Amino acid sequence: MDRKAGETGREGAAWPIVNGKDHASPSVFRPEALLREARRQKELPLIAVPPVCVLDPDGDVVRHLRRTGTGRIHEGWACYHTELLAFDLDDIGEIGIIGCAVGAPFAVLVAEQLFASGCRLLVSVTSAGQVTDNGATPYFVLIDRALRDEGTSYHYLPPATFAEAPDAGLLAGIERALSGLSGVTVHRGATWTTDAPYRETEIAIASARELGAFAVEMEAAALYAFATAMKRSVVCFAHVTNAMARSEGDFEKGEADGTTATLAVIAATARAWSTAAIAAEK
């Protein structure tokens, strides 16, 4: 007999995204193993990535570094899918950055490999659409929780409405550091992480707004779930630059395509993390 669509003969088995998971069980396929083989095939040296790395899904900062000649290829980065640039930022030292890793699965794949390669803090700054009106764009949201409307987070943590930032103390320190930035507006709050930006319907937007989301983006929930499960330091920002293109002239990011403000946010975040790390070692 043919089964109806969705019937499997087992209770709940039609939902593989949440069933069949043992979140405490280690993975058979490890990022260290993939990097080992990539390094062998590409004949790359074993060089650690910088302690502070950045995900730049829009690629604006990466393009700025290339255009100004201030970024250099990291010779030890063994990823099959991306290129890691290194650059010097203010008094912080060397920073690593990867551009155009868009969406939850890609962001977490790269995050796993960065931490396996020596990263200690990962900062994600992604452009986002305005869900709740917090004033004229552009501005940043320091994300403290993200609505889990994607698939990757469920492989790291059991089902829940939100993925929370893994270190509330670090987030508080970063919020204090950001309050001193001149000409940069930063709010702290929730976002909505989706895998399907072109299915942001009126009903979905209203639902996210009712749950307190300030903006919609594509990576934070998965990155925070990964960070919580694997005990990693990850901080996510939404750079709210648009109202989903519902009016002409949207998506303006500010000076130098938003890179001036973004680099200031990254620098303040790195300093706050460094201060917290030094205090923890005492």
Which is it for strands 213-217 and 121-130: parallel, antiparallel or unpaired?
A: antiparallel
Distance CA 45, CA 229 (A): 30
pLDDT, average across residues 141-170: 97
- pLDDT of residue 1 exceeding 70, the answer is no
pLDDT, average across residues 153-179: 97
Q: What is the pLDDT of residues 119-136, one digit of tens each?
A: 999 999 999 999 999 998
Q: What is the pLDDT of residues 36-93, one digit of tens each?
A: 999 999 999 999 999 999 999 999 999 999 999 999 999 999 999 999 999 999 999 9
- pLDDT of residue 19 exceeding 80, the answer is yes
Helix axes 60-68, 259-281, angle to 10 degrees: 100
Instruction: Write down the pLDDT at residue 192.
Output: 98
**CATH superfamily, with its number, for domain 40-243+250-281:** Nucleoside phosphorylase domain (3.40.50.1580)
Instruction: Write down the pLDDT at residue 145.
Output: 98
- pLDDT of residue 173 exceeding 90, the answer is yes
Instruction: Write down the pLDDT at residue 6.
Output: 41
- pLDDT of residue 233 exceeding 80, the answer is yes
Q: What is the pLDDT of residues 243-264, one digit of tens each?
A: 776 566 666 777 767 899 999 9
pLDDT, average across residues 109-128: 98
Instruction: Write down the pLDDT at residue 248.
Output: 60
- pLDDT of residue 237 exceeding 80, the answer is yes
Q: What is the pLDDT of residues 182-207, one digit of tens each?
A: 999 999 999 999 999 999 999 999 99
The pTM score is 0.93
Instruction: Write down the pLDDT at residue 7.
Output: 42
Q: How confident is the model at residue 2 (pLDDT cuts 50, 70, 90)?
A: very low
Sign (positive/negative) of CA torsion 15, 20, 21, 27? negative
- pLDDT of residue 137 exceeding 50, the answer is yes
How much is the mean pLDDT over the chain? Answer: 92
Lowest mean pLDDT among 4-18, 62-76, 216-230: 4-18
Instruction: Write down the pLDDT at residue 112.
Output: 98
Q: How confident is the model at residue 180 (pLDDT cuts 50, 70, 90)?
A: confident
Q: What share of the chain has pLDDT > 90, as a percent?
A: 83
- pLDDT of residue 29 exceeding 60, the answer is yes
Instruction: Write down the pLDDT at residue 13.
Output: 53
